[in-house]
Amino acid sequence: MDSILRGDFHVHSTFSDDAVSTVAENIAAASAVGLTELRLVDHVRADTTWVPEFLAAVAAEPVPDGLTVFTGVETKMMDASGRLDLPADYRGAVLIADHQFPGYDGPWSPSATVARLRDGLSTSDALDLLVGALVAAMGGVDEGQLAHCFSILPKVGLSESDLTDEHLAAWASGAARTGTLVEVNEKWACPSPRSLAAARSAGVTLVASTDSHIARDVGRYHAVATLLQGVAA
């Protein structure tokens, strides 16, 4: 799996309001650490208007020999139906993120989800909502990638160990059926080796990502290498 570490499929630039490095700085950083593939991604909502400028900025940058640069946008699931907070006219790669919990009546914040679990929502039903939303969201885009998948679980007092084999089978088969990439995320150290093994067994393509917001982090892996070693073991 060492070849996976030659790519970084989730890198933010100054088009995201929480990142500090430019497109050019990220490309230079990727080349400097010997990456062969780079996906430049920024956060969008339904009312985002700057995507054409972002794509033009990437297209205008010279790319060093040996490096292939891809683009995409990252957006959150809005509810259990898998609806995404995505500009209606966008066509391209979509990173599907669990920034909030996909509830049946809209996105739930972590605190709101904790309250619902405390008030009687079962762990099983909550995970059904999450996995169902992920599968539906993957089916709703032409070119998908799961961003830091299951990172929402620790924020609501749950973990990937709460996912049943049936949950993971449905999740993995959904990714395989739709050709969705599953990223192994450095920042959030997820998905777990168990989840990644389920994805790999289903024939899903795994990619590495730093989820970097500053160029010095591009392509630099510690958690990802450990997670992949866990899958191999």
What are the domain boundaries of the chain?
Answer: 2-215+224-232
Structure tokens at 23: 């497109």
Q: What are phi and psi of 26, to 5 degrees?
A: -70, -40
Q: What is the DSSP letter of 213?
A: S
Strand 101-103 and strand 106-108: the pairing is antiparallel
- pLDDT for 1 equals 61
DSSP H helical ranges for 33-144? 51-60, 110-118, 123-139
Q: What is the DSSP letter of 16?
A: S
- Given its phi and psi angles, is residue 82 left (phi above 0), alpha (psi -120 to 50 degrees) or beta? left
| Sequence letter at residue 134 | L
- pLDDT for 232 equals 83
- pLDDT for 121 equals 98
How far is 221 from 212, CA to CA, in rounded Å? 11
| Helix (H) or strand (E) run with residue 174 in it | helix 165-178
Strand partners of residue 70: 39
For residues 19 and 49, is the Cβ–Cβ distance under 8 A?
A: no
- pLDDT for 83 equals 98
**Cα of 7 vs its chain's centroid, Å:** 14
Q: pLDDT tens digits, the chain, 233 residues: what are they?
A: 679 999 999 999 999 989 999 999 999 999 999 999 999 999 999 999 999 999 999 999 999 999 999 999 999 999 999 999 999 999 999 999 999 999 999 999 999 999 999 999 999 999 999 999 999 999 999 999 999 999 999 999 999 999 999 999 999 999 999 999 999 999 999 999 999 999 999 999 999 999 999 999 999 999 999 999 999 87
How far is 76 from 66, CA to CA, in rounded Å? 32
List, as own/partner pairs, every contact residues 212-215 make where C-beta atoms lie below 8 angstroms and the sequence separation is at least 24, other chains included.
Answer: 212/8, 212/10, 212/11, 212/12, 212/21, 212/26, 212/186, 212/187, 213/12, 213/16, 213/18, 213/19, 213/20, 213/21, 214/19, 214/20, 214/21, 215/21, 215/25, 215/26, 215/28, 215/29
Tell the CATH topology of 2-215+224-232: TIM Barrel (3.20.20)
Q: How many CB atoms lie within 10 A of CB 178?
A: 17
